[in-house]
Structure 1
Amino acid sequence: MAHFYLLETLEVTTPGSLVTLDGAEGRHASTVSRVRVGESLLVGNGRGLTLSGTVTDTSKDIVILKVDSVDHASQSSPQITLVQALAKTDRDERAIEASTELGVDVVLAWAAERSVSKWEGPKIEKGLARWTAIVREATKQSVRPFLPVVESHVTTAQVCTRLAGCNLLVLDPTGDVSLGSLEIDERDIALIVGPEGGISPAEISRFREAGATIVTMGANILRTSTAGPAALAILNAKLGRC
């Protein structure tokens, strides 16, 4: 399989033209992956444009490609947002990584009431940068034409405001209906996943007031690192995205 690189500055191009892969991606391709002249690479801009090209020249930090083919993907609809509660160790990071590979469109870092991990002050910017890097690498791993957006660190009230009008689905073992049997309408979807200790009764009540549906995925209790990706897999099947 051809290597896949993200070049956000990539614009619409045509077969036969030359594209320069530079910066961190060019450096990685030439010095880490050690691509050689004649190899095929895939390059995308994270906004739906993907091209396949043949390497014509390399240097320390640059790879030159001759474009063989160009593809323009359409954004999936409805959009799916993962509202992932901050969690200890790397469980929240594992959740957003797998969710990116499964096709999530937007990721929100949620400061839930029972989150053990806390982002405060400089930790907020550092945490968002870390999540952005994880999502970017997962996008490359899964060869996705669209790079998910990692948005700001939010409180419960901000989740409800930010996602007003969306189909809010709160994942909780005490759910009113199973996700598999839920009828999905045309609205964008927000999956809300709690931390290790679960979502508090006060938060459940707040989400209900905002029009959310509390959904379950069966008798087994899933970790916060597993719940979001598992729900995405179910939604992908229901929406014909797999």
Structure 2
Amino acid sequence: MSAPLFLLDAGSLQQAAVGAALVLDGPEGRHAATVRRIGPGERVDVADGSGLVARCTVTAAHDGVLDLRVDVLDDVPEPDPRLVLVQALAKGDRDELAVEAATELGVDEVLPWQAARSVVVWRGDRGTKAHRKWQQVVRAAAKQSRRPRVPVVGELVTAGGLRARLEQAALAVVLHEDAERPLAALDLPARGEVLLVVGPEGGVSPSELDELVAAGAVAARLGPEVLRSSTAGPAALAVLSARTRWA
């Protein structure tokens, strides 16, 4: 079984070295020492979300604090191609469920999308709080799945911003139930950004689909079933990860 992973603030491991001592305190230290009751001699991994991972041995445990010795220091490179999920805002917690599962399945960035058929609208304080919640969901899912990199949660995009990202991508795919080409059969780039667009509960509107295809996206389907907004993105990411990362 792999060692549990705990996340520090960004950049916290920049000065770390093999043999050096680390202190795991704060919320992560309390979780490790008090909730999980990790003690001396046990192994833990500590990451700062940027790809740096300190693989450590616990030398002492205090009230809410672990003292660690760095045994190995790894710098895990960012995957290439880079997988980006454009997730339309959805009612309830369906968009958050999609973001959580996508993180566990290897997504590198998530873009919230205000689609034409999105019932939910991010404005003002509500939008700020919702964006922060997505970041919290992603961080927790990265920790649970022992990912050394925490995916980026981009700013909310509307039609114009999404078109600009599509034009920059090595491959952009819009999931659509009426598409003829299956996602599993698409040629994938060896490098660059693969952008995966998932609509809200009502799907991508015909006019949006036309605009996205005109900007360079490819319409593709997963299979004969029609999936919810919360499951379509993770299912597609599993297909892409199996072809690019899990071999």
- TM-score, normalising length: structure 2: 0.93
Unaligned runs of 5+ in 1: none
- Does the CA-based 8 Å contact 2:183-2:222 persist in structure 1? yes
1:20 aligns with 2:23: yes
Stretches of structure 2 lacking an aligned partner (at least 5 in a row) = none
User: Measured at CA, do residues 187 and 17 of structure 1 come closer, stay the same or move farther in structure 2, by a change above 3 Å?
Assistant: closer
**Which is worse superposed, 54-63 or 78-87?**
54-63
| Counterpart contact for 2:166–2:216, Cα < 8 Å | no
2:65 aligns with 62
1:11 and 2:47 are equivalent in the alignment: no
Q: Partners of 1:57 and 1:35 in 2: how far apart? A: 10
Q: 1:215 aligns with which of 217, 220, 230?
A: 220
User: CA separation in 2, counterparts of 1:149 and 1:105?
Assistant: 7
Q: Deviations over 1:102-141 (max 9, x none)?
A: 1000001111111112211101110111011110011011
Find the counterpart in structure 1 of residue 192 from structure 2. 187
> 1:64 Cα shift?
1.4
For the residue of structure 2 that corresponds to 1:164, the secondary structure is helix
Q: Which of 221, 233, 239 is residue 238 of structure 2 equivalent to?
A: 233
Q: Distance in 1 between matches of 2:175 and 2:111?
A: 15
1:1-242 aligned within 5 A = 1=1, 2-7=3-8, 8=10, 9-166=12-169, 167-185=171-189, 186-242=191-247
1:62 Cα deviation after fit: 2.6
Displacement of 1:12 in angstroms is 4.8
Query: Once the 2 structures are TM-superposed, how far is the Cα of residue 158 of structure 1 from its aligned partner?
Result: 1.1
Partner of 2:246, secondary structure, is coil
Distance in structure 2 (CA, Å) of the matches to 1:64 and 1:156: 49
Q: Contact (CA 8 Å) 1:85, 1:109: kept in 2 or not? A: yes
Q: Distance in 2 between matches of 1:59 and 1:130?
A: 31
Q: Quick one: distance in 2 between partners of 1:38 and 1:237? A: 36
Larger CA deviation: 188-197 vs 56-65:
56-65
- How far residue 21 of structure 1 moved from its aligned partner, in angstroms, is 1.4
Q: CA RMSD in A?
A: 1.5
For normalisation by structure 1, the TM-score amounts to 0.95
Q: Quick one: percent identity of the two aligned structures?
A: 45
Distance 1:158 1:6 in 2: 31
Distance 1:43 1:227 in 2: 32
Q: Contact 2:179/2:219 (CA < 8 Å) preserved in 1?
A: yes
In structure 2, C-alpha distance between the alignment counterparts of 1:44 and 1:110, rounded to whole Å: 29
